[in-house]
Structure 1
Amino acid sequence: MAFSLCSTKTLLFLFLISAIPIAFIISMELAKPPTHVYHYHSSGFFRECAKWDDLNSRFLVSFMEGGIGEIALPEDHGSSMEEAVLKEVTVVKDPDLTGNSSLGIVVDRPRNRLLVAISDVLGNNYNALAAYDLSTWDRLFLTRLGGSGTLLSLFFCSSGSFPFVFLANHCSCPS
C-alpha cells in the first residue's frame, strides 16, 4: 500500500501535531504574566512603536494609520491599578501626512521633542522625519527624506545630537 498524504491517519496526525503549538499559545495568553502589565483600549488595530516618557508618566505610541497617541498613567498607579484599563488618547493627527504611517518614535528629552519616522508603507512613495513638541504637540519641523523604501528604524547616536533613520529598499534577489 502506497503512502498517501491525504489519508485519514495522516490528516489526523497533522491535526494533533498542530494542536500542540496552538495549545501552548493559548496557555501563555491565559497565564498571569510574571511582571506588571498595563492594559489599555486602543482606537486602532496596530501600534508600531511605543516609548516611555518618564517625566510625564505616559507611554507614547505611533499609529500604523498615522499619528501619535499617549497612554497616561494616573498619579495613583500603584497596586490599585492591577485591573484598571487605561485609555489611549490621540495627540497628533497631522493632516499633511494623511495616508502615511508613523513607524518609529524617539523621545528627545534635552530638546523636549518627539522625533517621528513617517513612511508610506504600501506605496513606498514618501519618507519623512518630523518633530513635535512634547508639551504642546505643535509640529517643530517636517523634513522629507529622498529615496524610495520604507523607514525601518529611528535612533540617536551616543551623543544624542544626530538622529539616524534607516530605510529598507526593495531589492530583488538574483535567481
Structure 2
Amino acid sequence: MLSDNVYQEERIPTQLERFWRSYRSNSLSMFGLWCLGFLILITLLSPFITPYDPMAQSSNLLVPPSWDPEGTVDFFFGTDDLGRDILSRIIDGSRLSFGAAVIITAIATLVGCLIGILAGMTRGLLSSTLNHLLDTVMSIPSLLLAIIFVAFLGQVSSISCWRSASR
C-alpha cells in the first residue's frame, strides 16, 4: 500500500510505550517486576493468609522446618523458642517492612524535592549553600552514608545512656 507517510509505522509510539517494549523484552527485569507484584500482593493480603496468629505462643517450641525429617507441614518454617509460627511472623512482618520502605521513600522524595526547588529558585548565598550541600550528599555513596548515620545515632544514644546512668 502506497502512503505519503515518511515513517515506517502508522503511529509513532510514545516514550512510555517504547520504554515498556524495552522493559518487557528483558526477562530479568520482568522477573523482578513479577517478584515485586507478588510481594505487594502478599503484603496486602497478609492478615488473611497467615496460617496462625503471629504473636500467639504455643507449646510447640523450636519445631524444625518442614523439610527437616523431624519437622511437620503444620509449621512450614518451624517455630521459635516461644512457639510462634515463623512463616506467620514473616508474612505479618512484610507489612511493616514494606510500609516503612514506602513511607521513608516518600519522605526522602518530598525533602529532596523541597531542597531542590529551594536551590533552584533562590539566588546568592542560600542557593550556593544548598547546591554545595546537595553536591556533598550526592558524592557520598549511600551505603557509607547509612553507616555514618547509624554510627552517629549509636554514639548519640550511648552518650545519653551514659549521662542518665551517671546521675
TM-score range, shorter chain: under 0.3
Mark the structure with the bigger radius of gyration: 2
Q: TM-score, length-normalised on structure 1? A: 0.22
Give the strand-richer structure, 1 or 2: 1
Q: TM-score, length-normalised on structure 2? A: 0.23
Give the helix-richer structure, 1 or 2: 2
